[in-house]
Amino acid sequence: MAYRSLNPFTERTVRTCDEHTAAEVEAKIAKADALFRSDWSRGPIKARLAVLEALAGLLTDNRDVLATAMAEEMGKPLAQGQGEIDLCAGIAAYYADKAAEFLKPQPYDTDLGEAWTEFHPIGVLLAVEPWNFPIYQLIRVVAPAIAVGNPVLFKHASIVPHCAALFEDLVMQAGAPDGCVTNLYISSDTVSELIGDDRIQGVALTGSEGAGSKVASRASEMLKKSTLELGGSDVFVVLDDADIEKAVAAGVEGRLSNAGQVCTGSKRFIVQKAVAEAFIDGFVEGMKSAVMGDPMDPETVLGPLSSEDALKDLTGQVEEALSHGAKALTGGKPSDRTGFFYEPTVLVDITPDNPAYYQEFFGPVAQVFVVDDDDAVVAQANDSHFGLGGSIFSGNIDRARKLASRIETGMVFVNSTTTSMPELPFGGIKRSGFGRELGDVGIKEFVNRKLVVISEGKAASTVG
Ligand code: NAP
């Protein structure tokens, strides 16, 4: 796909960017690889953490510039973009503060003598990232990589080239050496070629199942480590003892934030019968009354979808769901206005034979299921190909805790929507991918955990 910023609110092209030539790409890989072989990557962590600290400050200083670029390129309402940048600054600051401790050698008890693992960089990483959180998706990979000493080449989504360039520039302003973090305007075919390059040692992809499957198969063919953060169809469970007003407000926010284009957005609402009417009435009302409009207007809650293709895909999915027996309690079609807007939509009566039942709706479309008891909640929640996050709303924490451990996902939040914090490991199971980003776990996805043993001369047989 060609790199192009097209404002989804005005439907006008703002800029186009040429792809990097093969010679430019080669020069960028060579620079990144040279950095990996230098003292910067292998020497003391202090210099790398200073970059992260400076980057945290620069992200905060450039909050409005970055939030405006996101609004312009993919339609995120300004306040939501500003919130994203605050989180990104928090992630940079978190690793600046904690990485040295996470990467300290870890001792092991053994009869052989003294033993420990050290954490070393493995080489240049390739990050392939989506447009929905244009800066957060990058910082999740880049911040731990800088701390570890792995240079990163990134291929951002082709609809957010300006966000990609702004991010690269801020990392350089933070004092990173050449080759530390490099923006590539390249095609999917070039991604595949790069994974075959010996200088690239790992690939992290966030995006769709299709792209994840292609990139991970190529990585496994070339015997490279990969992590995948893919789609989700997160449950939002409302138990019969929940605070309904709180659940309604959270449900509307969880479904409409970023125009519903969030991997961990609340997508499947599973509501117990006793509170179904109260929840559904409030939820439909909340969805209907969301303020739709210009992402640059501070009052806007619901902006346009990111692109015309996104609008076409969602429209087709809902039409198919309705033609297979689903009913729309509100919405069900694109909004009749300029811009790629879709009406907030609530679907019920989705049976397992409806294609919608197992699909992710990447837009402001909620699926609602009414069930009886806690076992039915678990059965409905786990009847999904995805396993990213999920929420449970309940007034009884013990009950919610038990259910949380029975839901097959990488993350469950009680009495809040699924969210992301620098210190909390983020990731999923099943078709939502593998590996974790953020926290103490995320920083160790792309490291050489090198074992060193100082033998005290005790006998050991040779194995392996
Ligand atoms: P996408 O089409 O898979 O795009 C993601 C990135 O992959 C883009 O940079 C894209 O480049 C690239 N790409 C696409 N096909 C590729 C291929 N065959 N080889 C190499 N790279 C390829 O994803 P999307 O549909 O825009 O994003 C939405 C999906 O991402 C949703 O399913 C969502 O749930 C998921 N997501 C997951 C997380 C998470 O953390 N789990 C977070 C956000 C989004 P182009 O733009 O040039 O096509």
- Selecting among 73, 229, 343, 437, the annotated active-site residue is 229
Which whole number is the average pLDDT over 87-110? 98
Which whole number is the average pLDDT over 113-130? 98
- Selecting among 72, 73, 263, 343, the annotated active-site residue is 263
Q: How many CB atoms lie within 10 A of CB 82?
A: 17
- Give the type of residue at 461: S
Q: Which atom of ligand 1 is nearest to the CA of 232?
A: 34
What's the whole-number average pLDDT of the chain?
Answer: 97
Q: How far is residue 37 from each of residues 123, 175, 196, 444, measured CA to CA in Å? A: 8, 18, 19, 20
Which whole number is the average pLDDT over 9-18? 96
Q: How far apart are the first and last CA of the chain?
A: 46
Residue 284 pLDDT more than 70?
A: yes
Residue 108 pLDDT more than 90?
A: yes
Q: Where would I find the beta strands (DSSP E) of 170-289?
A: 181-184, 200-206, 225-229, 234-238, 266-272
Residue 444 pLDDT more than 90?
A: yes
Residue-wise pLDDT tens digits, 380-415: 999 999 999 999 999 999 999 999 999 999 999 999
Q: Give me ligand 1 centre to Cα 245, in Å.
A: 35
Is 277 in the active site? no
Q: Which atom of ligand 1 is nearest to the CA of 210?
A: 3
Residue 1 pLDDT more than 80?
A: no
Which whole number is the average pLDDT over 233-243? 98
pLDDT at 464: 65
DSSP 305: -
Residue 433 pLDDT more than 80?
A: yes
Domains (ranges, CATH) in the chain? Answer: 3-230+432-452 (3.40.605.10), 234-414 (3.40.309.10)
pLDDT at 459: 63
pLDDT at 118: 98
Burial (Cβ within 10 Å: 0-12, 13-18, ≥19) of residue 454: exposed
Q: Give me ligand 1 centre to Cα 31, in Å.
A: 26
Is 229 in the active site? yes
Nearest CA to ligand 1 atom 8: 157
Nearest CA to ligand 1 atom 2: 208
Residue 359 pLDDT more than 90?
A: yes
Q: Establish whether residue 307 lines the binding site of ligand 1, counting it when its CB lies within 6 angstroms of any ligand atom.
A: no
Residue-wise pLDDT tens digits, 371-386: 999 999 999 999 999 9
> What is the phi/psi pair of residue 187, to 5°?
-90, 170
pLDDT at 457: 80
Which whole number is the average pLDDT over 130-153? 98
Q: Give me ligand 1 centre to Cα 342, in Å.
A: 21
CA angle 215, 119, 34 (to 5 degrees): 65
Q: Establish whether residue 362 lines the binding site of ligand 1, counting it when its CB lies within 6 angstroms of any ligand atom.
A: yes
Residue-wise pLDDT tens digits, 56-80: 999 999 999 999 999 999 999 999 9
